[in-house]
Amino acid sequence: MPTANGPMHNLVVVENGVIDRLIANEAFRSAFPYLASLVQSRPAPARPGCRRCLKKQRTALNSYREFKSYLAAMTPQDKIRFKEFLDCKQVRVIHVNAANRILDRTF
């Protein structure tokens, strides 16, 4: 996230916690509204045996996966804007594709 005078980061790994912080940031939501709309708020941990809780948790995890997949597939201009927003030189996205393969993208 943008810093006033702090040093630029070499690498930022986009994980669920980073996504939560980005979604909570008003500047990010206005700069990337299509990304902000992908992620719902993280639900409370599922109670054992509660199917409704498990379904909410599964839906949230799917929206994080969708966010990461979309991030990896952004246009080069959007990737540059995203890196400028995070104030970093490189961004790493580790996500699962539709064939359940783990992909590691660094841009």
Write the pLDDT tens digit of every residue in 49-98.
Answer: 888 877 877 777 778 888 888 888 899 999 999 999 899 999 999 988 77
Tell me what the mean pLDDT of segment 4-13 comes to. 77
Q: Describe the strand order of the beta sheet including 102-106 as a list of residue ranges.
A: 9-14, 88-96, 102-106
Q: What pLDDT does 5 receive?
A: 55
Residue 20 to residues 25, 32, 52, 76, Cα–Cα distance (Å): 9, 14, 22, 23
- What number of other Cβ atoms are within 10 A of residue 106's Cβ? 11
What are the angstrom distances between the C-alpha of 1 and each of 8, 25, 61, 79?
10, 9, 23, 14
Q: Where are the domains of the chain?
A: 9-106
pLDDT digits (tens, 9 = 90+) for 12-62: 999 988 988 888 888 988 888 888 777 665 666 767 888 887 787 777 777
